[in-house]
Amino acid sequence: MGVSIAIDGPAGAGKSTIARLVARKLNFDYIDTGAMYRTMGLYLDRNQISLSDEAAVKTACEQAEIGVTYENGEQQMWLDGENVNDQIRNEKVAGLASACGKLMPVREKLVDFQQKLALSRNIVMDGRDICTVVLPRADVKVYLTASVEERAKRRFLEYQKKGMACTFEEVKKEVEERDYNDMHRAISPLCRAEDAVLVDTSDMSIEEAAEAIMKLLPEK
Ligand code: DC
């Protein structure tokens, strides 16, 4: 087994930015599990599979070929042989990911995939159920969060930069809805594992948050 750092937390807490930085500093691979749920959401949408059709979802999970590669430390997502990295980065797919993350066959497929990826390499993995389900024996477990206001502000600025038209209130509502969905689903809801260290990034820079996480690594 390699060294593993597991990071959970709500959307907009800065998980992926901070996890990527920690991975770069330590020369570990950064594994973005949200991207996998997004890819599965894209597959279900493309194939017009209703999320309430249990049998169809199960078959889809058997058929969808989800793969990852790492190029210069950056994770690339592949779906049926096509690189879908850019196509999964929008709010529609984020919503599909949150919706399909509620389904057992989807979680079983992706958790299994993630656990296999974590074998025999040093990793930083982020998501919603990494400390609780995927890597309960990780060397470092972190619950990374920030206030709703702060998370909505960050996302709003991101959208403005991309030239997307929306109001702060709309973005805040979207953040709150996604929190609610992720925290209240029946299977593997987002929650802080008992032994996960709470890191609140509301008043922290990315660099400070990365340092705080790296300090948790046991000396080898
Ligand atoms: O981290 P993200 O925004 O890319 O994640 C998109 C959605 O995927 C998130 O709202 C819930 C789901 N997800 C999950 O259920 N379990 C994970 N480990 C990661 C993401």
pLDDT single digits (tens) 29-61: 999 999 999 999 999 999 999 999 999 999 999
Q: Taking Cα atoms as reference points, which of 189, 29, 35, 180 lies closest to residue 97?
A: 35
For residue 220, the model assigns a pLDDT of 63
CA nearest ligand 1 atom 9, residue: 98
Specify the DSSP class assigned to residue 52: T
- Helices 104-118 and 54-63, axial angle in degrees (round to 10): 20
Phi/psi of residue 215, nearest 5 degrees:
-65, -20
What is the model's pTM?
A: 0.92
pLDDT band at 216 (very low <50, low <70, confident <90, very high): very high
Q: Is the pLDDT score of 179 beyond 70?
A: yes
CA nearest ligand 1 atom 6, residue: 34
Q: Is the pLDDT score of 10 beyond 70?
A: yes
Q: How far is the CA of 130 from the centre of ligand 1 (A)?
A: 11
For residue 70, the model assigns a pLDDT of 87
Mutate to test the pocket of ligand 1, among 98, 171, 174 (most ligand atoms within 8 A of CB): 98
E strands, the chain, in order: 4-8, 29-32, 66-71, 74-79, 82-83, 123-127, 140-145, 197-200
CB of 9 closer than 6 angstroms to any ligand 1 atom: no
- Residues of the chain with pLDDT > 70, as a percent, come to 100
pLDDT band at 113 (very low <50, low <70, confident <90, very high): very high
Q: Which two tokens stand for residue 173?
A: 């509502």
Nearest-atom number in ligand 1 for the CA of 178 is 10
Do 121 and 2 touch, CB atoms closer than 8 A?
yes
Q: Is the pLDDT score of 71 beyond 90?
A: no
CA nearest ligand 1 atom 13, residue: 34
Q: Which residues contact 42 (CB under 8 A, 6 or more apart)?
A: 79, 84, 87, 88, 93, 96
CB atoms within 10 A of CB 219: 3
Q: Which residues of 133-158 are buried (b: 16+ CB within 10 A; e: fewer)?
A: bbbeebbbbbbbbbeeebbbbbbbee
Provide the mean pLDDT of the chain: 94
Return d(Cα 202, Cα 128) in angstroms, integer: 19
CB of 11 closer than 6 angstroms to any ligand 1 atom: yes
